[in-house]
Amino acid sequence: MARSADRRNPQQEGSRKAVFAAMGANLAIAVTKFGAALYTGSSSMLAEGIHSLIDTANEGFLLLGLHRAKKPANARHPFGYGVEIYFWSFVVAILIFALGAGFSIFEGVETLLSEDGGSVQAPYVALAVLALSFLFEGLSWRVAYREFNARRAGNGLVRDLRDMKDPSVFVVLFEDSAACIGIVIAALGIALAWTTGIHAFDAIGSILIGVLLAATAAILAVETKGLLIGEAASPEMEALVRERVAELPEIVAVNELRTLHMGPNDVLLTMSVDFEDGVVSQRIEALVSEIETRLRRRFPLVRRVYIEVQSRSGHAALADGEDGSIAPILTA
């Protein structure tokens, strides 16, 4: 038995807020960096301009994913379009790697191999622009981190990041973190080139920014790939579901419980339940409805619940038959 509900989760608005903040900051920063790159001739500044421009486009893809994920379910897509946000987040990771990292490394290598060594003109202008960019990126990072912090489960920074099911939050957080680090790298490259007269430092800064973007893209690709393939709800949630269902006296055992995130705020839950032998069918129907009501009240993320009534021995026999041992029963 399954039921679904179309609830509007306030976390969706928080995700959009974080993406819009990052998009506005990156667009303004990109224009400023490109102007400074043209004026100073800095490879690191040009790499940072490309970085900010790609980040702006990425936020556009995230907004597209958030919008399309809200489309209602239909006959062709009975579980809705929530997974779209995972797809577009994966596209973002590919763009960061292919365009951001690729161009930054190419620009740095080309500058290193050039005859003039890529001298930087008016480095103070570049440094002033980078300082201003760091301020705006920091403000955008603060919005993303505040949204992430509001959703943390308190299991440590790395664990909470890995358990985050809304890529629009952790993608923006990673992008802004990489942007802040990239600005520091660019500033160091320009400052060293200025003070030492060795202009290769600026080109090396561009290459290091490319390596940073490649590492960021790899992390994002791994995380979003897991969401695309399908990730279960948290172990804590599954354990609590088993506990709540087992509270009913008519329940003998929860044979199996499986969950799947169909979107950041949409969990599909299926379970096999063994009832007492003396429970009549009408009572079983009422209990199934009661279980669904309890789960929906306790876990708003659970949108669809499928409950299979099955004896423990029957479930065990089917589970053993996954290796083919039950074939004779089916063909008898």
Query: Structural domain boundaries of the chain?
Result: 10-229, 235-322
User: Above 70 in pLDDT, residue 321?
Assistant: no
pLDDT at 4 over 80: no
Q: What share of the chain is helix, strand, coil (3-state, %, to 5)?
A: 70, 10, 20
Of 137, 104, 125, 142, the C-alpha closest to 29 is 137
Q: Please give the pLDDT value at position 258.
A: 93
User: Given pLDDT bands bounded at 50, 70 and 90, which one contains residue 329?
Assistant: very low
Write the pLDDT tens digit of every residue in 90-106. Answer: 998 888 888 888 888 98
Fold of 235-322: Alpha-Beta Plaits (3.30.70)
CA gap 188, 193 in Å, rounded: 8
Q: pLDDT class for 270, splitting at 50, 70, 90? A: very high
DSSP assignment of 42-59 equals: -HHHHHHHHHHHHHHHHH
CB atoms inside a 10 Å sphere around CB 37: 21
Are the C-beta atoms of 261 and 253 separated by less than 8 Å?
Answer: no
pLDDT of residue 193: 87
Residue 328 has pLDDT above 60, yes or no: no
43 in Cβ contact with 206 (< 8 Å): yes
CB neighbourhood size of 5 (10 A): 9
Q: In residues, how long is the chain?
A: 332
Q: Classify 230 as helix, strand or coil.
A: coil
DSSP state of 77: S
Read off the pLDDT of each residue in 77-82 and give the average, rounded to a whole number: 89
CATH number of 10-229: 1.20.1510.10
Please give the Cα distance from 202 to 326 (Å, whole number): 67
